[in-house]
Structure formats: structure tokens, C-alpha cells
């Protein structure tokens, strides 16, 4: 399992991560980011892509 962490103080809810890893990240009805804190190892590439596109660099994988 992969542990995902988003610094919500940095996150500006742009939603770029949603396009890269839609099974992990989503925007709720208020356009606020929601995410799954634990993901299957098969999602690693998608999560890393989400990390790369985050303009605020608010996402990280906790090793």
C-alpha cells in the first residue's frame, strides 16, 4: 500500500491531480479536494504524475 498525504494548507484545489489519478483524488460539490490516504501499489505511477502536476507541490507519498 502507498500512503498519500496532501498538505491542505498549501492545496488551492486546482484539481490537476484529479486528472492524473481520478481513483485517488476528487473534487467534492464545493470544489474542495478529497483524497484517499492509502492506495494500491498499482496507482503509484498515477500518484507520481499527480505530484508532478500539482502547481502548489502539496502532494507527497509517505514512505
Torsion over CA: 34, 35, 36, 37 (sign): negative
Cβ pair 24, 4 in contact under 8 A: yes
**pLDDT tens digits for range 7-63:** 999 999 999 999 999 999 999 999 999 999 999 999 999 999 999 999 999 999 998
Q: Which residue spans within the chain are E strands per DSSP?
A: 2-6, 25-27, 33-35, 38-39, 59-62
Whole-number pLDDT of residue 25: 98
Q: Which three cell numbers stand for residue 4?
A: 498519500
Indicate the pTM of the whole model: 0.94
- CA 27, distance to chain mean position in Å, is 10
CA–CA distance, 11 with 54 (Å, rounded to integer): 9
| Domains along the sequence of the chain with CATH | 2-62 (3.30.70.20)
Amino acid at each position: 500500500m502507498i500512503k498519500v498525504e496532501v498538505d491542505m494548507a498549501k492545496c488551492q484545489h486546482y484539481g490537476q491531480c484529479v486528472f492524473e489519478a481520478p481513483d485517488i483524488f476528487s473534487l467534492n460539490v464545493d470544489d474542495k479536494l478529497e483524497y484517499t490516504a492509502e492506495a494500491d501499489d498499482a496507482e503509484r505511477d498515477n500518484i507520481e504524475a499527480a505530484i508532478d502536476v500539482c502547481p502548489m507541490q502539496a502532494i507527497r507519498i509517505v514512505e
